[in-house]
Amino acid sequence: MKRFLSFVKKEFLHIFRDVRTLIIIFGIPVAEILIFGFAINTDLKDARIAILDLSKDATTQRLTNKLLSSGYFILEKELQSDNELESVFKEGKVRMVLVYENNFGQKLQKEGKASIQLLLDASEPNTANMLHGYTTGIINDFMMKAYPLNQQNIRIIPSVRMAYNSELKSVFMFVPGIMAIILILVSALMTSVTITREKELGTMEVLLGSPLKPIQIILGKVTPYLLLSLVNVASILGLAYFVFGLPIAGSLVLLIAECTLFIFLSLSLGILISTVSKTMQQAMLISMVGLMMPSILLSGFIFPVENMPDILYYLSFIMPPRWFIEILKSVMIKGVGFSYIWKETLILSLMTLVFIFISIKKFKIRLE
- C-alpha angle 141-144-149 in degrees, rounded to nearest 5: 175
Options 7-15, 135-143, 237-245, 319-327: segment touching another protein (CB under 8 A): 7-15
Residue 212 interacts with another protein (CB under 8 A): yes or no: yes
Q: Which helix (H) or strand (E) holds 256?
A: helix 252-276
Options 206-214, 221-229, 237-245, 329-337: segment touching another protein (CB under 8 A): 206-214
Options 5-13, 57-65, 169-177, 256-264: segment touching another protein (CB under 8 A): 5-13
d(CA 354, CA 348): 10
318 CB-near residues (< 8 Å, 6+ apart):
none
Asked if 300 contacts 324 with a C-beta cutoff of 8 angstroms, the reply is no
Residue 151 interacts with another protein (CB under 8 A): yes or no: no
d(CA 162, CA 244): 19
Residue 3 interacts with another protein (CB under 8 A): yes or no: yes
Near another protein by CB under 8 A: residue from 201, 215, 302, 354? 201
Residue type, 20: R
What is the spatial order of strands in the sheet that 47-53 belongs to? 73-79, 47-53, 96-100, 116-120
How many Cα neighbours within 13 Å face the side chain of 148?
1
- Residue 20 or 155: which CB sits closer to another protein? 20
- Residue 4 or 338: which CB sits closer to another protein? 4
DSSP result, 92-158: T--SEEEEEPTTHHHHHHHHS---EEEEE-TTSHHHHHHHHHHHHHHHHHHHHHH-SS--SS-----
Near another protein by CB under 8 A: residue from 80, 117, 129, 210? 210
- Residue 31 or 206: which CB sits closer to another protein? 206
Near another protein by CB under 8 A: residue from 80, 205, 337, 354? 205
- Residue 211 or 309: which CB sits closer to another protein? 211
Residue 203 interacts with another protein (CB under 8 A): yes or no: yes
SS3 (DSSP) at 186: helix
Using alpha carbons, select from 296, 268, 292, 276 the residue that is nearest to residue 191: 268
Beta carbon of residue 207, minimum distance to another protein (angstroms, whole number): 7
In the chain, beta strands by DSSP E: 47-53, 73-79, 96-100, 116-120
d(CA 358, CA 237): 32
Near another protein by CB under 8 A: residue from 30, 85, 207, 284? 207
Beta carbon of residue 188, minimum distance to another protein (angstroms, whole number): 22
Residue 279 interacts with another protein (CB under 8 A): yes or no: no
- Residue 149 or 367: which CB sits closer to another protein? 367
Residue 219 interacts with another protein (CB under 8 A): yes or no: no
Beta carbon of residue 342, minimum distance to another protein (angstroms, whole number): 41
Near another protein by CB under 8 A: residue from 149, 156, 160, 367? 367
d(CA 347, CA 318): 9
Gyration radius of the chain over CA positions: 28
Near another protein by CB under 8 A: residue from 158, 209, 304, 309? 209
Near another protein by CB under 8 A: residue from 71, 148, 158, 211? 211
Options 116-124, 201-209, 280-288, 302-310: segment touching another protein (CB under 8 A): 201-209
Beta carbon of residue 203, minimum distance to another protein (angstroms, whole number): 5
Q: Residue 163: exposed, middle, or buried by beta-carbon count in 10 A (0-12, 13-18, 19+)?
A: exposed
Options 88-96, 125-133, 208-216, 334-342: segment touching another protein (CB under 8 A): 208-216
- Residue 156 or 367: which CB sits closer to another protein? 367
Asked if 174 contacts 321 with a C-beta cutoff of 8 angstroms, the reply is no
d(CA 92, CA 121): 9
Q: Which residues inside 9-68 make contact with another protein, applying CB under 8 A?
A: 9-10, 13-14, 17-18
Which positions touch another protein (CB under 8 A)?
Answer: 2-3, 5-7, 9-10, 13-14, 17-18, 201-203, 205-212, 367-368
